[in-house]
């Protein structure tokens, strides 16, 4: 059995905001642990409390009550300097470091190891080069950070956290501004870093598609319902993703790992397709056009009308009680009078 090494854990934690003597609770009774070797993705709707939780774990804001233990010691007992040895943070606040070059900004991440006026040694430079390479920013190392795009700046902030070489890395929506290739690259990098260098990494994200592929664990934060933690596939198969977004018209498609609008309306059509890909995209097209797709019961197909048979992408047959027509594409099908007038 794999022995899990806990980096940070919380017991009966209440997070939120203090306004004078009044406390505004965002979540209470939270219990969790983050272990080395795992990339954990924190998911939840807007306002669910993801940033509040990350800021509390990063000691940027205090908990309202409860205990947080970092490497066996209370988090509150660490000085800011001691914390910077253990926790690398990438929060969403825009960096004010526009006057620094990319390389200078990333080098600031080495401060816990070199001291404020400490000189960077050969090894420090190698670590910085390696991090810039890893996030794909090596070629822009001498650019000013003010001249970067939002996505590029985000990559630089990730590189800065990487060079800190902490056992715990916390990131608030690190892939928010990134294109799909960069999102996959960054999440693959974080996953590799967690498993190969035995770091504990917690990132919040709205990029559910990638979280389900690369997150070793998920933390599902639900407004008013607290936090559910578990291995990604366990949570999906236990239908815990179904209630992540409290919206009755949104449903989780556990086959494809996506959320989609619930199909409502009166029109139904039987659908048969030669393979899973054709079925998925035929259903997508029919749902978008207001049809609820029904499975063929198998035996007596003559009873099952209207019926759309998708033999291939260029061979679609629509059968109604009046006739059967063949179409060479979905475009042709949706332009047909048969679909518009007879169904």
Ligand X SMILES: Nc1ncnc2c1ncn2[C@@H]1O[C@H](COP(=O)(O)OP(=O)(O)OP(=O)(O)O)[C@@H](O)[C@H]1O
Find where tokens 């470091």 sit.
Answer: 97
Instruction: Record the tokens describing residue 124, joined without a space.
Output: 């420090």
Nearer to ligand X (CB atom), residue 11 or residue 17: 17
CA separation for the pair 170, 332 (Å, rounded): 50
Which one of 40-48, 95-103, 139-147, 179-187 is the stretch in contact with ligand X (CB under 6 A)?
40-48
CB 267 within 8 A of CB 292: yes
* CB of 18 vs ligand X, minimal distance in Å: 9
Which one of 45-53, 190-198, 305-313, 314-322 is the stretch in contact with ligand X (CB under 6 A)?
45-53
* CB of 10 vs ligand X, minimal distance in Å: 16
Contact map string, positions 186 to 225, toward ligand X, x by CB under 6 A: ----------------------------------------
CA separation for the pair 161, 111 (Å, rounded): 11
Beta bridge partners of 315: 312
* CB of 189 vs ligand X, minimal distance in Å: 23
Which one of 41-49, 108-116, 150-158, 301-309 is the stretch in contact with ligand X (CB under 6 A)?
41-49
Does 22 bind ligand X (CB under 6 A)? Our answer is no
Q: How many other β-carbons are positioned within 10 Å of the β-carbon of residue 194?
A: 23
Q: How many other β-carbons are positioned within 10 Å of the β-carbon of residue 246?
A: 12
CB 338 within 8 A of CB 318: yes
Does 52 bind ligand X (CB under 6 A)? Our answer is yes
- Residue partners of 100: CB distance under 8 A and separation at least 6: 108, 144, 145
Which one of 48-56, 136-144, 243-251, 285-293 is the stretch in contact with ligand X (CB under 6 A)?
48-56
DSSP 291: P
Binding ligand X (rule: CB under 6 A), the pick from 8, 9, 30, 44 is 44
Nearer to ligand X (CB atom), residue 47 or residue 118: 47
* CB of 22 vs ligand X, minimal distance in Å: 11
* CB of 60 vs ligand X, minimal distance in Å: 11
Does 26 bind ligand X (CB under 6 A)? Our answer is yes
In whole angstroms, how far apart are CA 183 and each of 116, 138, 159, 229, 336? 32, 17, 14, 23, 40
Residues that bind ligand X (CB under 6 A): 17, 24, 26, 44, 46-52
């Amino acid at each position: 059995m794999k022995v899990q090494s806990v980096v940070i854990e919380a017991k009966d934690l209440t997070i939120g905001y203090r306004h004078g003597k009044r406390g505004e609770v965002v979540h209470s009774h939270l219990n969790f642990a983050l272990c080395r070797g795992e990339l954990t993705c924190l998911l939840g709707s807007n306002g669910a409390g993801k940033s509040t939780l990350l800021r509390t774990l990063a000691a940027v804001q205090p908990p309202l009550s409860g205990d947080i233990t970092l490497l066996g010691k209370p988090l509150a007992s660490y000085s800011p300097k001691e914390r910077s040895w253990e926790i690398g943070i990438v929060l969403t606040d825009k960096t004010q470091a526009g006057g620094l070059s990319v390389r200078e900004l990333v080098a600031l991440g080495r401060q816990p190891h070199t001291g404020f006026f400490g000189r960077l040694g050969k090894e420090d430079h190698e670590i910085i080069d390696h991090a810039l390479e890893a996030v794909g920013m090596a070629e822009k190392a001498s650019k000013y950070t003010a001249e970067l795009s939002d996505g590029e700046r985000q990559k630089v902030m990730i590189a800065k956290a990487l060079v800190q070489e902490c056992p715990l890395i916390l990131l608030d929506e690190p892939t928010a501004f990134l294109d799909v290739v960069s999102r996959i690259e960054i999440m693959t990098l974080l996953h590799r870093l967690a498993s190969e260098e035995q770091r504990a990494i917690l990132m919040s994200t709205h990029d559910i598609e990638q979280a389900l592929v690369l997150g070793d664990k998920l933390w599902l934060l639900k407004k008013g319902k607290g936090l559910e933690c578990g291995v990604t596939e366990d949570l999906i198969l236990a239908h815990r993703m179904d209630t992540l977004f409290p919206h009755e018209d949104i449903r989780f498609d556990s086959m494809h790992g996506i959320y989609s609008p619930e199909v409502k309306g009166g029109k139904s059509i039987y659908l048969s397709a030669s393979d899973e890909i054709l079925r998925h995209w035929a259903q997508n097209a029919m749902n978008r056009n207001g049809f609820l797709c029904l499975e063929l019961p198998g035996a007596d197909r003559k009873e099952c009308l209207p019926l759309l048979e998708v033999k291939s992408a260029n061979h679609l047959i629509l059968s109604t009680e009046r006739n059967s027509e063949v179409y060479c594409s979905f475009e042709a099908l949706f332009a047909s009078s048969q679909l518009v007038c007879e169904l």
